Amino acid sequence: MTVSRIIDFRCRPPMAAQKLLFDLKLGRLQWKNKFVCPPSLATSPSMFKVGEEEGLELLLKEMDEAGVELIVVPGRNLANPPKAVLQMSGADKINVTDEMMLELGRKFNNRAIGLHGIDVEQPAEEAVSAIETAIGDHGLAGAVLEIGYSTTQEGQPLKADDRRLYPIYETMVKLDKLLMYMSGIYAGHDIGANDWPPLDRVLQDFPDLKIVLGHGGYPRVLDALALGVKHPNFYLSPDIYCFFPGGRLYVEAISQLPDQFIFATAYPFGTFKESVELSLQFPLSDEVMEKYMYGNAARLLEL
């Protein structure tokens, strides 16, 4: 099957601040016990040029070769990244700022669309002001919420329904923009960060809030799918996890929730070429495939 247009809803270009992700990707290929997942095993030339202008040039070429029209780049603003994360990255900072994404958009001739990374450690009014500036003044398409490495004042894991996050949700509803919520096996100190009943409560309190679950809620796949059934403004973007153990549940559900699934590669965890080619083999009708690969994302991005 072929499609006329493709949007990659989660792509982390080979910028210096993204070095950790490329180290994880390439390091895994050296493991003695292999993990058989074609997009994860595949590499592309841009992955070996992190922090270099050539890396971005190669990425654009790889987009063209795979037929990817646009990429969505999630920002990151972790005020206190865990030391283990910084050690893995070999860098002092791993954050991706609004300024970085605006510059990337210029270099990519507006083929890279940025999302503001929310700093949840800020006072709520400062976080809200930063969101309003990023979207209202800078023209970013939405925001990203990562809470897996944050805690409450009592030292407990921060959950989606913590009241300190509610001003953020209220702001996203007021602005009528998407909020990407981070999930997946690297979304927190452990996989317990993928706890979806609290997010269910948020969606009940904010039925107009448009949430995209980045990485699709893996490994709590069934709970994530249930949220899609229950809440029409809840979107799943399982990206590379479609090809992980249990990921066929996502593929089987796309036709049942045709307006709520969004394609992504999670580059560098998946390459453009292999991710696109394998996704186009999913057993979907032409209409559903078009929505998955482009239409649902375009609607959310107001293209």
pLDDT of residue 36: 87
Q: Distance (Å, rounded) from C-alpha 128 to C-alpha 123?
A: 9
| Domains parsed from the chain with CATH numbers | 7-301 (3.20.20.140)
Q: Distance (Å, rounded) from C-alpha 149 to C-alpha 94?
A: 14
pLDDT tens for the chain, residues 1 to 303 = 888 899 999 999 999 888 888 888 888 888 888 888 888 899 999 999 999 999 999 999 999 999 999 999 999 887 665 554 555 555 556 788 899 999 999 999 999 999 999 999 999 999 999 999 999 999 999 999 999 989 888 889 999 999 999 999 999 999 999 999 999 998 888 899 999 999 999 999 999 999 999 999 999 999 999 999 999 999 999 999 999 999 999 999 999 999 999 999 999 999 999 999 999 999 999 999 999 999 999 999 999
pLDDT of residue 86: 54
pLDDT of residue 141: 97
Q: Distance (Å, rounded) from C-alpha 1 to C-alpha 285?
A: 9
pLDDT of residue 77: 85
Copy the structure tokens of residue 22.
Answer: 């490329």
pLDDT of residue 261: 98
Copy the structure tokens of residue 15.
Answer: 């910028």
Other beta carbons less than 10 A from residue 126's beta carbon: 11
Amino acid at 221: V
Other beta carbons less than 10 A from residue 220's beta carbon: 19
pLDDT of residue 79: 64
Structural element, H or E, at residue 126: helix 124-132
Other beta carbons less than 10 A from residue 245's beta carbon: 12
Q: Distance (Å, rounded) from C-alpha 237 to C-alpha 212?
A: 7
